[in-house]
Structure 1
């Protein structure tokens, strides 16, 4: 009897793509694909921000065993406006570099590093964008980096860049993302073990190069599919510290914005969120929720190491999201208040124009390598990683006092706040009861409500108001305040803490 649900699951998997692709659809771009791997270009938009094709590498490179693994250059970029820093502009440390990944055949990981506009003693923060396969330069230029790109290709200081309160790293990962590359196809990563091991090796080399930052507090941040990357990386660093593998990284916390972490719970929230926000009708909600038990079964069969069942559950579960889009019209599923403009929902073309200029490539040390925002090759390689649950490793980190912040913009559909708050509330750890009983509180910035906060011990959840998938882009000031306060130990506005103490 136990085998019957499995057979039923795989039988329906065979039927489902054909039935969905034959349904009427005014927008062919969102039609459900007939073939799993051909699905990358259409479904890449689910958690990616830009499609595009990036090969791992075209030229053959000769390894020099005597060459340094990490090669970094100082950037001298002309940035318009005032930096808002007491440190002279010429002394602000802006860097770009490549790290030749230690446990690979020929992989090189590209990164930016911006020293703080505040103080060198500020925490070190690493930012990971999602996809899988999308470059962190998306965040650098459109969300929380030191500067933005004007239409005339000039750089303009970002008044709310996260480098105002931290020394921040933006890294292109996994291999094949952005400017990171390999000349050996064997360096593609298919799951979080390879991804987290590469990040750990990179951070070991980075802090060896920048040893004066080793004592600083260290935080991992990111959004979207980084809801997988971040817990895996935090666990890898935590384990490396415990086992004294290398340099002891001063890991204090990790933050996930609009992430995909526990798919079984989050996919169950899609129809509920869509109904609540008026995207679908009650009748459609009833119909779409009938898909979920099959999705849930697929994720259960996927477990932590499945391959065929993980790929099958990817197809089934994403049909929930696709079904909503078929009914929703031309919405931007990263921000349902907006229409999807063109094939990308956002226009990020200035970034590709800027990074593909010869002068910029020369300054970055990437040679003639073309920059592509998101890599379908990396996306396809990670398909069987998609439905795995990365909530499971978090409780051990919380128990040891590692801080966790989950935040989500209220108008994002693809990784909506409802699915995120549900998995956070359901997580079992010693402080779960206290967290679930904690009252909701306003998250205020300049005495105005910018979000709704729930916090207890090392765990915090923040629903950010008036924001979509990319919170630092939609609410830059509130996002910067969120980071600053969280790293200082309290998300509550300081004046309210003072008032409460007086009372």
Structure 2
């Protein structure tokens, strides 16, 4: 039996979209939005959160949570957290931050990467982990929407089993639908510079969303979005090229011996530099790759153990009933039974039935990046130089394939007098791309928060890194 829609008794405040008459908008734009709302039956629900379990006192920033229905008949209900900028919400950029996975939650980013709250590990010994302020939150310089997507991730859900099925292009379309409806409900942010940002696997989706926004603006879709560009961290972009670069990166970082790398790369009749689509009749290559895989897994395990520190706190916190009540989470039968940080299996089980709900249907987004080079668009691509998941070598290769003009040559960039990484910038007509490395692993903003805040602040301000 399919889950039933949320009832009026839900914690959330359901309402027809409203417009704040004091919004700082162009009068003509405001009139267009008002007319669209009068013709629309879009229903949203959101709540302003004043306090949270684990945090002492009232929150010193504005937090809103809510649901927005997207897709056919609003069958997918996407949950979001919206943090207003702590500096100047009227003028600061608006970020839609999308986690990777696919299937990692918004709280994964909000508490461990760039949101205004973090866990106090030293003092979190009770039932509710202790929250404290993050001094390197991106809300110091921007408004941020964190979204649970796709359906089945975090607190987002679908009204039918069929609506749980998704793929890269569906995900992009639903995120675009979400953003349109969110901006209709928050028209005072229509004039803020808009950036679509995310990390890891979402690199397969964000360039599609950005292109959809530009195409939608040209087609006259409402509301018009003030899109300025996108920012990606350690993005999976070309599934073959990025994964294939791992062997070269492992050798580059001295994880593989010169002899093993040379055998798998250059010496006939072995792998010839191809490590994914291997000829099944090439036994020598298969034998070499078994050893490479063994060495790489041991090296990856070190990163995984390091990266997993403290993740259990968010699981305990998000599954607590008082927390869910404070966030105004809907209680809809048959949907969320347990909150998990990342549903990396991409399988959701309902009773006796289970369905694989996400299909990887886009092999590469390089062409989407290339299409965007013909727009008035800015891009920031950041890579951890200790990332074995999406190595910077693969990222640099597809960036070079765009054939852009070098505007500023490879050079170090600094934070508090220390080298934070290296950067190079490119241009093509009205398009610009800044590429930067950071001395970090795959989840860069989590382990180098000071450096990433400095990077994004400078980039938003159109300043050199």
- Name the TM tier (shorter chain): 0.7 to 0.9
Relative distance call for 1:489 and 1:172 in structure 2 (3 A) is same
- For residue 278 of structure 1, report the CA deviation from its aligned partner: 1.4
1:107 counterpart = 2:76: yes
- For 1:374, which of 335, 339, 342 is the aligned residue? 342
Separation in structure 2 between the aligned mates of residue 143 and residue 322 of structure 1, nearest angstrom: 34
- For 2:305, which of 341, 354, 358 is the aligned residue? 341
Separation in structure 1 between the aligned mates of residue 317 and residue 272 of structure 2, nearest angstrom: 43
Residues 105 and 187, structure 1, Cα contact 8 Å, conserved in 2: no
Residues 179 and 366, structure 1, Cα contact 8 Å, conserved in 2: yes
- For 1:422, which of 371, 382, 397 is the aligned residue? 397
Residues 160 and 477, structure 1, Cα contact 8 Å, conserved in 2: yes
Relative distance call for 1:242 and 1:155 in structure 2 (3 A) is same
Runs of 4+ aligned residues of structure 1 deviating over 6 Å after TM superposition are 62-67, 79-83, 319-323
- For 1:403, which of 363, 367, 378 is the aligned residue? 378
- For residue 377 of structure 1, report the CA deviation from its aligned partner: 5.4
Relative distance call for 1:283 and 1:473 in structure 2 (3 A) is same
Task: Name the residue aligned to 2:365.
Answer: 390
- For 2:412, which of 439, 442, 453 is the aligned residue? 442
Residues 189 and 195, structure 1, Cα contact 8 Å, conserved in 2: no
Task: Name the residue aligned to 2:458.
Answer: 485
Residues 482 and 491, structure 1, Cα contact 8 Å, conserved in 2: no
Separation in structure 2 between the aligned mates of residue 402 and residue 192 of structure 1, nearest angstrom: 22
Relative distance call for 1:320 and 1:105 in structure 2 (3 A) is farther
Give structure 2 stretches of 5+ with no counterpart.
Answer: 9-13, 17-41, 266-270, 281-286, 348-355
> How many residues are matched?
400
Larger helix share, 1 or 2: 1
- For 2:216, which of 240, 243, 252 is the aligned residue? 240
Residues 233 and 381, structure 2, Cα contact 8 Å, conserved in 1: yes
Q: Secondary structure in 2 aligned to 1:268?
A: helix
Separation in structure 2 between the aligned mates of residue 104 and residue 491 of structure 1, nearest angstrom: 45
- For residue 281 of structure 1, report the CA deviation from its aligned partner: 2.1
**Pairing of 1:120-269 with structure 2 (within 5 A):** 120=89, 121-151=91-121, 152=124, 153-269=129-245
- For residue 132 of structure 1, report the CA deviation from its aligned partner: 1.1
TM-score, normalised with respect to structure 2: 0.78
Q: Secondary structure in 1 aligned to 2:196?
A: strand
Give structure 1 stretches of 5+ with no counterpart.
Answer: 1-56, 84-88, 299-311, 313-318, 493-503
CA RMSD of aligned residues (A): 3.1
Relative distance call for 1:346 and 1:269 in structure 2 (3 A) is same
Task: Name the residue aligned to 1:74.
Answer: 48
- For 2:425, which of 455, 467, 472 is the aligned residue? 455
Relative distance call for 1:104 and 1:224 in structure 2 (3 A) is farther
Q: Secondary structure in 1 aligned to 2:65?
A: strand
Separation in structure 2 between the aligned mates of residue 82 and residue 470 of structure 1, nearest angstrom: 28
Q: Secondary structure in 1 aligned to 2:72?
A: coil
Q: Secondary structure in 2 aligned to 1:100?
A: strand
Residues 270 and 321, structure 1, Cα contact 8 Å, conserved in 2: no
TM-score, normalised with respect to structure 1: 0.73
Task: Name the stretch that deviates more: 118-127 or 388-397.
Answer: 388-397
Residues 94 and 113, structure 1, Cα contact 8 Å, conserved in 2: yes
- For residue 345 of structure 1, report the CA deviation from its aligned partner: 4.4
Relative distance call for 1:376 and 1:341 in structure 2 (3 A) is closer
Q: Could you report, residue by residue, the CA deviation over 1:175-215 in whole angstroms, capped at 9, with x for unpaired residues?
A: 22111111312113443221111111111111111110110
Separation in structure 1 between the aligned mates of residue 109 and residue 290 of structure 2, nearest angstrom: 26
Task: Name the residue aligned to 2:327.
Answer: 364
